[in-house]
Amino acid sequence: MLKKRIIPCLDIKDGTTVKGINFKRLRNAGNPIELAKKYETEGADELVFLDITATIEERKTFIELVKEIAKELSIPFTVGGGISTIEDVRKLLEAGADKISINSSAVKNPQLISDLAKEFGSQCIVVAIDTKLINNSDWVHIKGGREKTDLKTLDWAKKVEELGAGEILLTSMDGDGTKSGFDLRITKLISENVSIPVIASGGAGKIKDFEDVFNKTSATGALAASIFHFEEVKIQNLKSELKSKKIAIR
* Nearest Cα to Cα of residue 96 among 64, 59, 53, 50: 64
Q: Which position among 130, 176, 183, 209 bears the catalytic label?
A: 130
Check residue 53 and give left, alpha or beta (phi > 0: left; psi -120 to 50: alpha): alpha
CA distance 108 to 72: 34
DSSP alpha helix (H) spans, 53-171: 63-71, 86-94, 104-108, 111-120, 153-163
Q: Which position among 11, 51, 138, 209 bears the catalytic label?
A: 11
155 part of the active site: no
11 part of the active site: yes
CA distance 229 to 20: 12
Annotated active-site positions, please?
A: 11, 130
